[in-house]
Amino acid sequence: MLQVSLHRTTGRARALAGLFIAMGLVASPAFALDKINMAASGTSSDIGSFIAIKKGFYKDEGLEVTQTVFDAGVKMIAPLGTGDLDVATSSATAALYNAVARGIGVKIVASNGNAPPGYGHNVLIVRKDLIDSGRYKTPQDIKGLKVSMPSPGSSATATLNAYLTSIGLKFSDIEPVYLSYPNQVVAIANGKIDVGLTAEPQASQAIATGAALRVTADDVMDPWHEASVTLYSGNFIEKRPEVAARYMRAYLRGQRFYNDALKGGLIAGPNADEVVAILTEMTEIKDPKIYRSIAPQGAEPDGKLNMPGLKKDLDFYRTQGWIEGVVSVEQAVDGSFAAKAAKELGPYVPKK
């Protein structure tokens, strides 16, 4: 068997090592993996990265990715700005745009999760007793109710605003309450909130208790909305662009593998068994039946961003006074890594 010893971790050396490994010519790599610090939510929204870890796609690119779980996307911005984090998955929040306006080098580099028709992963639920009493009969009856979302200036607030606009209401017509998704389930059961825009599987959990009923989901409220995106720190882009490029290739391989698990609005495609196994291993939800029953998020196989949707969200954040300074979506986006990786991987062909 051919043995290859690499003493320098140059990009060319790593590329050759990856080729030899793929060909089965090297039993174990003799070079150090490039380390990447990534912020994650620890939920199913991180599935592309989970797959890249468990399937070895990062290692194929000479990378070692360490994930740190954050309970809110807004908390990821500061360590991204300092370079303590290289990568994060989060929503395109008002806090992110404010950081860019202050000159902090954080960039949106790819789509992470979206809402194509049939894949409504973020669900609007209403307390059942409000429906039973007749307080809530039509969508317009959301007016004046306490509606929960994760945080001010999150993508969920933009989704809800799009829905309110479509039914002739304004964001000021509701009473926003900001709670994490798990806490929303408890609050709706206790009567502390009336309505929740809640991600799966928490939405289904609230419905299963009998405390809430489903009204609609984000694939109807705001189709193709960018529920979450992938972020790079400025240091990662400027100081390790070649590593950042390799990360994106591995990540898109994960997104493509995930796409091949989707069918008919469920995780029911050819790769479903592996994806469900990864989700139950990597998240707090350990019952595979839950992941097989809920609507999963959509994922762009090429990482392409919905730029008009991002601009609409930013405009809404401005109307709420959440944006400080002058900033545009274009200033916050660098799509070059995803475009390059998609070209290198070739056109995505769905698995049959």
Domain contains 57: yes
The verdict on 175 and 249 lying in the same domain is no
Give the other-Cβ count within 10 Å of 157's Cβ. 26
Domain contains 352: no
The verdict on 340 and 234 lying in the same domain is yes
Whose tokens are 């070209």? That residue is: 343
Q: What is the pLDDT of residue 163?
A: 97
Given 200, 221, 242, the domain boundary residue is 221
Q: What are the percentages of helix, strand and coil residues in the chain, rounded to 5?
A: 45, 20, 35
Residue type, position 259, single letter: N
The verdict on 166 and 135 lying in the same domain is yes
Lateral strand order in the sheet of 226-233: 63-69, 34-40, 87-90, 226-233, 106-114
The verdict on 159 and 187 lying in the same domain is yes
Contact 25, 1 (CB under 8 A): yes
Main-chain phi, psi angles of 274, to 5 degrees: -70, -40
The verdict on 62 and 126 lying in the same domain is no
The verdict on 69 and 211 lying in the same domain is no
Contact 277, 286 (CB under 8 A): no
Domain contains 305: yes
Rounded Cα distance between 43 and 40, Å, is 8
Query: What is the sign of the dihedral through the CA atoms of 203, 206, 208 and 210?
Result: negative
Q: What is the pLDDT of residue 32?
A: 86
Which run of H or E residues covers position 174?
Answer: none
Given 221, 241, 273, the domain boundary residue is 221
Q: What is the pLDDT of residue 2?
A: 26
Rounded Cα distance between 147 and 149, Å, is 7
Domain contains 139: yes
The verdict on 321 and 341 lying in the same domain is yes
Domain contains 2: no
Q: What is the pLDDT of residue 96?
A: 96
For residue 109, the domain's CATH number is 3.40.190.10
Domain contains 335: yes
Given 158, 189, 221, the domain boundary residue is 221
The verdict on 94 and 143 lying in the same domain is no
Domain contains 19: no
- 257 is written with which tokens? 């593998």
Helix 272-282 to helix 47-54 angle (10° resolution) is: 100
pTM for this one?
Answer: 0.87
- 275 is written with which tokens? 């994806």
Contact 119, 230 (CB under 8 A): no
Instruction: Give the angle 161-109-297 at the CA atoms, nearest 5°.
Output: 50
The verdict on 111 and 232 lying in the same domain is yes
Domain contains 27: no
Ramachandran quadrant class, 346 (left: phi over 0; alpha: psi -120 to 50; beta: rest): left
The verdict on 207 and 252 lying in the same domain is no
> Residue 120, Cα to own-chain centre: how many angstroms?
14
Per-residue DSSP letters for 129-162?
Answer: HHHHHTS--SGGGGTTSEEEESSTTSHHHHHHHH
Whose tokens are 């790593």? That residue is: 14
Q: Whole domain around residue 239: which residue ranges?
A: 33-115+226-345
- 99 is written with which tokens? 């950081």
Rounded Cα distance between 162 and 90, Å, is 20
What is the domain count for the chain?
2
Q: What is the residue-level pLDDT of the chain in tens, covering all 352 positions?
A: 222 222 333 444 445 445 444 444 343 445 689 999 999 988 899 999 999 999 999 999 999 999 999 877 888 999 999 999 999 999 999 999 999 999 999 999 999 999 999 999 999 999 999 999 999 999 999 999 999 998 899 999 999 999 999 999 999 999 999 998 889 999 999 999 999 999 998 899 899 999 999 999 999 999 999 999 999 999 999 999 999 999 999 999 999 999 999 999 999 999 999 999 999 999 988 999 999 999 999 999 999 999 999 999 999 999 999 999 999 999 999 999 999 999 999 999 999 8
128 Cβ contact list (under 8 Å, min separation 6): 210, 211, 212, 213
Rounded Cα distance between 192 and 34, Å, is 47
The verdict on 189 and 250 lying in the same domain is no
- 349 is written with which tokens? 């062909």
The verdict on 127 and 189 lying in the same domain is yes
